[in-house]
């Protein structure tokens, strides 16, 4: 479904991603892990067309993505959440979710601010209610981000990613900062969404979560792929163990 081929990204003299290959299969939960600074978010930013690689191509359903813009990515049914929450503080939950709606991606943000909820058509309203029910935030639709816990904000971001009905979802550290209960709720959401046929590419440091939900794991370190396989294969890979133990010693 998603094929990353020979992607290299440079920031000045720093090579953040180096000749990266990765294939995400349809219907799977695929995790991308690795120590801080490994290049995971950078690769997400290439796939979602936030940044350009110096080399390589990404194919999605056979179509090359690098020529597309970030807006066009959403219409191709790819959506994401961000490592650092990117919600609009001046909009309530309802409006924030709406801002991810595919038909309104660009003009939507302004129309939301100008017209308010009452002008949304019934199909849009139904979609917002559906995803907010799925994420169990239906009773918070009128709240503003500043009024919500971090766990709820993360759910709002997931709801916003789901409103465009994506086939591929990219989650960048969705469990970071969450407590144990909130993490297991996020896990349930992934499994539910995945059962609906959606493919998930997950960046996450919570290894228990990764090991539990992943069909396949790709491991990056210093911009390069160092291992790939099932959770069991990756967990027993000597190079992966070395990278993670090394990280722990530094900490």
Stretch that binds Mg ion, among 17-25, 34-42, 88-96, 242-250 (CB under 5 A): 34-42
Q: Give the footprint of ligand ATP on residues 121-140 (CB under 6 A).
A: none
For 20-83, the three-class secondary structure string (H helix, E strand, C coil) is EEEEECCCCEEEEECCCCCCHHHHHHHHCCCCCCCEEEEEECCEECCCCCHHHHHHCCEEECCC
The residue among 30 and 40 lying less far from Mg ion, judged by its C-beta, is: 40
Structure tokens given for 195: 């059962």
Residue 96 host element (H or E): helix 93-98
For 145-178, the three-class secondary structure string (H helix, E strand, C coil) is HHHCCHHHHHHHHHHHHHCCCCCEEEEECCCCCC
For the bound state, the minimum distance from the C-beta of residue 175 to ligand ATP, rounded and expressed in Å, comes to: 13
Query: Which of 8, 83, 143, 194 touches ligand ATP (CB under 6 A)?
Result: 83
Binding of residue 219 to ligand ATP (CB under 6 A): no
Query: Which of 29, 30, 41, 132 touches ligand ATP (CB under 6 A)?
Result: 41
DSSP secondary structure code for residue 2 in this structure:
E
The residue among 83 and 111 lying less far from Mg ion, judged by its C-beta, is: 83
The residue among 40 and 80 lying less far from Mg ion, judged by its C-beta, is: 40
Binding of residue 110 to ligand ATP (CB under 6 A): no
Binding of residue 36 to ligand ATP (CB under 6 A): yes
Binding of residue 53 to ligand ATP (CB under 6 A): no
Binding of residue 15 to ligand ATP (CB under 6 A): no
Stretch that binds ligand ATP, among 29-37, 72-80, 140-148, 239-247 (CB under 6 A): 29-37
The residue among 193 and 203 lying less far from ligand ATP, judged by its C-beta, is: 203
Question: CB-based contacts of 53: which residues, under 8 Å, 6+ apart?
Answer: 7, 8, 9, 17, 46, 66
Phi and psi at 167, nearest 5°, equal -90, -30
Phi and psi at 225, nearest 5°, equal -80, 125
For the bound state, the minimum distance from the C-beta of residue 35 to ligand ATP, rounded and expressed in Å, comes to: 7
Q: How many CB atoms lie within 10 A of CB 84?
A: 8
Query: Which of 41, 99, 218, 221 touches Mg ion (CB under 5 A)?
Result: 41
Stretch that binds ligand ATP, among 33-41, 69-77, 100-108, 145-153 (CB under 6 A): 33-41
Structure tokens given for 226: 């160092």
Q: How many CB atoms lie within 10 A of CB 30?
A: 21
Q: Which among ligand ATP, Mg ion, none contacts residue 34 (Cβ within 5 to 8 A by kind)?
A: ligand ATP
Chain contacts with ligand ATP (rule: CB under 6 A): 11, 14, 16, 34, 36-42, 83
């Amino acid at each position: 479904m998603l094929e990353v081929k020979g992607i290299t990204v440079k920031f000045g003299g720093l090579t953040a991603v180096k000749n990266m290959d990765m294939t995400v299969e349809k219907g799977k939960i695929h995790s991308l892990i690795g120590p801080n600074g490994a290049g995971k978010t950078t690769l997400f930013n290439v796939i979602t067309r936030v940044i350009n690689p110096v080399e390589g191509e990404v194919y999605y359903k056979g179509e090359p993505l690098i020529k597309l813009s970030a807006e066009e990515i959403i219409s191709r049914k790819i959506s994401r959440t961000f490592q650092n929450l990117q919600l609009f503080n001046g909009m309530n939950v309802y409006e924030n979710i709406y801002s991810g709606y595919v038909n309104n991606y660009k003009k939507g943000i302004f129309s939301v601010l100008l017209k308010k909820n009452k002008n949304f058509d019934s199909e849009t309203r139904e979609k917002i209610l559906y995803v907010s029910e799925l994420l169990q935030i239906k009773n918070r639709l009128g709240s503003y981000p500043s009024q919500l816990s971090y766990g709820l904000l993360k759910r709002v971001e997931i709801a916003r990613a789901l409103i465009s009905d994506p086939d591929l979802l990219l989650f960048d550290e969705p469990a970071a900062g969450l407590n144990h209960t909130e993490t297991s709720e996020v896990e349930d959401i992934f499994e539910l969404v995945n059962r609906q046929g959606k493919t998930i590419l997950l960046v996450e440091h919570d290894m228990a979560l990764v090991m539990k939900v992943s069909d396949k794991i790709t491991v990056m370190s210093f911009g390069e792929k160092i291992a790939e396989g099932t959770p069991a294969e990756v967990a027993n890979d000597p190079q992966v163990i070395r990278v993670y133990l090394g990280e722990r010693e530094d900490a």
